[in-house]
Amino acid sequence: MAKYTKILPQLTYNGVSIADITHRLDMLKTVEKYATMYYSVTIDEDATPEKVAEQYYGTSDYWWIVCAINKIIDPFYDWVQREPEVYAYVNKIYDDQDEIHHWEDTDFYQYAENSLEEDRVPVTNIEWKLHLNDQKRQIMLLKPSFVPKIADEF
């Protein structure tokens, strides 16, 4: 069987030609409704969609299923990054990584400023981006028994 990415149209991203995996994802929108087809896993910060597909599906050829299920459009910023990459990104988008991004109360509600009682905790730009990156480590995977059927549909 030809690799799925060979039959997809190509697009240019940051000067590199890549497969447009969003081309035929309408069927996956339907599949999303069936929660019993998925399970959650926590990945390492150095995991890639290819490594995850290899580990859970036995071949890296199904990396596109991992991306599609988790709505990964931009593999550089939608996927989990290593901590040094997060620091580099924060330094690129913010003047000061230690500047307060927002305030949080004990229930983790966010506020633009502290309260008069000063009962909120400041969260810096770097803390916030590290937190968001850590959340990306929790991904959904299609149960392996459904993968061949999805691949055949595509």
Output the pLDDT for position 21.
62
Do 38 and 141 form a contact (C-beta atoms < 8 A)?
yes
Nearest CA-CA partner of 64 in 152, 4, 149, 144: 4
Specify the amino acid at residue 62. Y
Output the pLDDT for position 150.
80
Q: What is the dihedral of CA 93, 98, 102, 105, to 10 degrees?
A: 150
- Residue that is written with structure tokens 């150095």 in the block: 46
Q: Alpha-carbon distance 154 to 151, whole Å? A: 5
Q: Alpha-carbon distance 59 to 80, whole Å? A: 20
Q: Alpha-carbon distance 114 to 94, whole Å? A: 21
Q: What is the 3-state secondary structure (H, E, C) of 41-67?
A: EECCCCCCHHHHHHHHHCCHHHHHHHH
Per-residue pLDDT of the chain in tens (154 residues, 90 and over written 9):
445 556 667 778 788 887 776 655 554 565 566 767 888 999 999 999 999 999 999 999 999 889 988 888 888 889 999 999 999 999 999 999 999 999 999 999 999 998 888 889 999 999 999 999 999 999 999 999 988 888 777 6
Alpha carbon distances (Å) from 28 to 23, 69, 108, 118, 154? 11, 7, 33, 47, 10
Output the pLDDT for position 91.
96
Output the pLDDT for position 6.
61
Strand partners, 151: none
